[in-house]
Amino acid sequence: MQWTVDQVNAIVQGGLWPKTAIFITWDDWGSWWDHVNPPDVEKWTDGTQFRYGSRVGCLVLSPYAKAGYISLLLHSHVSLVKFCEDTFGLTTLNARDAASDGMTDCFDFTQKPLAPPPANPR
Q: Which segments of the chain does DSSP mark as H helices, in order? A: 2-13, 77-88, 95-99
Q: Is residue 14 part of a domain?
A: yes
Neighbours of 97 (CB within 10 A): 20
**Rg, C-alpha atoms of the chain:** 16
The answer as to whether 99 is a domain residue is no
Task: Please give the Cα distance from 78 to 101 (Å, whole number).
Answer: 8
Which of the pair, 28 or 60, is modelled with greater confidence?
Answer: 60
Q: Is the residue at 27 inside a domain?
A: yes
Range in 23-32, 55-64, 95-104 the model is least confident about: 23-32
Task: Tell the burial category of 68 from Cβ atoms under 10 Å away from its Cβ (0-12, 13-18, 19+).
Answer: exposed
For residue 19, give its domain range.
2-70
Domain count, the chain: 1
pLDDT in tens, 73-87: 988 889 999 999 999
Cα–Cα dist 110/97, whole Å: 26
The per-residue pLDDT for 56 is 80
Is there a domain that residue 77 lies in? Answer: no
pTM comes to: 0.84
Q: Is the pLDDT of residue 53 over 80?
A: no
